[in-house]
Structure 1
Amino acid sequence: MLPIFLVTFPFFALIAAGYAAARLRVLPLEAIPGLNVFVLYFALPCMLYRFGAGTPIAQLLDGSVALVWGLCALAVVAATVWRTRGARIGWNDASFGALVAAFPNTGFMGVPLLAALLGPGVAGPVIITITFDMVVTSSLCIALSRLDGADEHGAAKAVRQALRGMFMNPLPWSILLGALASALQFRLFGPIDRTVTMLADAASPAALFTIGAVLARSALAARRQPALGLARVGDVLPVVLVKLLLHPLLVWAVARVAVAWGLPLSQSALVAIVLVAALPSASNVSMLAERFGADNGRIARIILWTTVAAFFTFPLAVGWLN
């Protein structure tokens, strides 16, 4: 277990450093959007492009991974909405709670962490999970969030907004370009390739530091809301347990059944997607929740709790799978 902690500790330490910098105002809160822009539009796309271009195209088109991951993501969304929706939590809050339960922090955290643990060969399955969550899971949850009539234009407008946001998101495009480069055996021109490599190398530390800063900003915003009483704990804790326990266990179980039924899912791909499911919640869900008028304080707490708890649960998941 100690060797696993030695690998994972620096990743969580960078998140803690970003959190402390923002909470202590060493990093101005006004600077966080700039960090987000650098990571989202420059560093991470370069890293995903390099992973995609260096991965055989067959791994990027692995239907077995997509099927197992997709079924589990939809099951987590359905179970979370069913468990949490009630008198105090309508479709809007339940849907974003489901999104934060089903959408791991794969882009900002998972890709570099899993590559460090399992090697660059893990890129194919991880990229498939990112693509599915950005295209399907996010769009579904945003559409469900409109079912309580909070928006007079309904689910259709939400779906259009989700698709427009997906179109403007550089990460799917970088994945697509990397896949095309892999299929065509295309290599960038020397100086351009070195520039992309430098940005890609900056992605991991910058993204992890930014996660911490975003969590600190969300925590500060949540403090302006009513205190976290027992009822509020009951709104947060079940989703945390779904994310860190139910989601990885479900992926493992469905993957094992799929293999038993003859689905061509390799052991390395199985381990990779289970560990993706064991990651904490994606930090960008907080921004989506704020945009669509959901209880962002609740979503921010879920993200923060899963990130803190994952410092202990994620190494345990790695040790269990090994």
Structure 2
Amino acid sequence: MLSILLVTFPFFALVLAGYIAARQRMLPLEAIAGLNGFVLFFALPCMLYRFGATTPIAQLLDAGVFFTWLLCALVIVAFTVTISLNARIGWNDGAFGALVAAFPNTGFMGVPLLVALLGPRAAGPIIVTIMVDMVITTSLCIALSRLDSADEHGVAHAAQNALKGMLVNPLPWSILLGALASVFSFELPGPVLKTVGLLADAASPVALFTIGAVLARSQMRAALHDHPAVPLIDYLPVAAIKLLLHPLLVLLVGATAVALGAPLDRFALTVMVLIAALPSASNVSLLAERFGADNGRIARIILVSTAAAFVTFSGAVALMT
């Protein structure tokens, strides 16, 4: 367990450092958008491109990982929406709550953390799950969020926005370009490769620091606008679904698939379970804010899951490796 904590502690310590920096105003809140932009448009795409280019194409087109992860994501979304809907929580808030329950923080935290724990071979399953979550799970939840809208074109408009967001998101494109480089054995020219490598190496520390800063900013904004207190029942169960139910479901579904002879590698299943054990994706807070959901509730789910994951994720690693 100590060896696991030696790997995981620095990652969560960087998140805490970003949180403290924003809370204490050592990092101006206005600068957080710049950090986000650097990670999203420069560092993380370079990291994903590098992994895609150096990963065998068969791992990037793993149907067993794709369908197992997709099935579990759909079950988590349906279950979370079902138990969340009440007099306070409509489709809009329920859908984004379901998204934080099903969407791990794979890009900003999972890629560097799991590769550090399990080696470069983990990159293949990670990339597959990122594609499922960014393209299918996110689009589905955005569409569901429009079901209680008075606008009869709400769902269609949301689906259009989701497609537009996917097209301008650099992460899927960087994965695709990396996959093409892998297929055609293409190598970037030396100086370009060195530049991509420097940006890729910067992704992990800056992304983790930014997660903490984003969480602090969400909490501070909620306090500034004097949002009413969010009942514990509205966010603690969703955090528990993310950290406990999601990885357990992936383990059960994946183990069943392996037992039935499905093309799912046991190492890939281990990677998937640990991805599911990650805290909620911090970018969902930005989506919730854009679509008018209760961002105070979403921010609390992300904050609780991130804080608790230091213990639960480390435990999952100890059990699975």
Give the letter for the 1:99 counterpart. Answer: L
Q: Tell me the distance in 1 between the aligned counterparts of 2:154 and 2:167.
A: 21
1:106 aligned to 2:122? no
What amino acid maps onto 1:237 in structure 2?
L
The residue aligned with 1:268 is 267
**Structure 1 residue aligned with 2:130:** 130
Indicate yes or no: 2:21 matched with 1:21: yes
Cα deviations by residue, 1:246-277 (Å, 9 ceiling, x for unpaired):
00000000000000110121111000000000
State which drifts further: 48-57 or 146-155: 146-155
How far did 1:210 drift?
Answer: 0.5
Q: Distance in 2 between matches of 1:169 and 1:2?
A: 38
Aligned residues between the structures: 320
CA distance in 1, matches of 2:151, 2:90: 13
What is residue 316 of structure 2 aligned with on the other side?
317
Deviation at residue 151 of structure 1 after TM alignment: 4.2
> Runs of 5+ in structure 1 lacking a partner?
none
Question: How far is the alpha carbon of 1:228 from its aligned partner?
Answer: 3.1
Distance 2:39 2:130 in 1: 16
Tell me if the contact between 1:53 and 1:180 (Cα under 8 Å) persists in the aligned partners: yes
Does structure 2 conserve the Cα–Cα contact (< 8 Å) formed by 1:225 and 1:297? no
Shift of 1:154: 1.2
Matches within 5 A, 1:279-318: 279-318=278-317
CA–CA separation in structure 1 for the residues paired with 2:27 and 2:15: 13
Deviation track 1:107-145 (CA, whole Å, cap 9, x = no partner) reads 000000000000010000000000000000000000000
The question of 1:228 aligning with 2:250 is answered no
After superposition, the Cα gap between the structure-2 partners of 1:293 and 1:54, relative to the gap in structure 1 and judged at 3 Å, is: same
1: CA distance between counterparts of 2:226 and 2:182? Answer: 48
Task: Give 2:299's aligned amino acid.
Answer: A
C-alpha spacing 1:53/1:290, structure 2 compared with 1 (3 Å):
same
- Match for residue 59 of structure 2? 59
| Corresponding residue for residue 243 of structure 1 | 242
Shift of 1:221: 1.4
5 Å matches for 1:163-182?
163-182=163-182
In 1, distance between residues paired with 2:284 and 2:105?
A: 10
How far did 1:89 drift? 0.5
Deviation for aligned residue 1:86: 1.3
Runs of 4+ that moved beyond 6 A:
none
After TM superposition, the structure 1 = structure 2 runs for residues 90-105 of structure 1, keeping only pairs within 5 Å, are: 90-105=90-105
Instruction: Provide the alpha-carbon RMSD of the alignment.
Output: 0.9
Distance 1:182 1:55 in 2: 7
Tell whether 2:40 aligns with 1:40. yes
Query: Is the contact made by 1:81 and 1:97 (CA closer than 8 Å) also made in structure 2?
Result: yes
CA offset at residue 225 of structure 1? Answer: 3.5
Q: State how 1:65-76 maps to structure 2 within 5 Å.
A: 65-76=65-76
Per the alignment, residue 89 of structure 2 pairs with: 89
AA matched with 2:295: N
Structure 2 residues without counterparts, runs of 5 or longer = none
Identify which range, 143-152 or 169-178, moves more after superposition. 143-152
Work out the CA distance in 1 between the residues paired with 2:252 and 2:2. 27
What is the match of residue 185 of structure 1? Answer: 185
Q: Using structure 2 for the length normalisation, give the TM-score.
A: 0.98
What TM-score, normalized by structure 1, do the two folds share? 0.98
Q: 1:90·1:148 contact (CA, 8 Å) conserved in 2?
A: yes
Residues 128, 83 of structure 1: alpha-carbon distance in 2 compared, 3 angstrom cutoff: same
**Separation (CA, whole Å) in 2 of partners of 1:260 and 1:284:** 36
AA aligned opposite 1:308: A
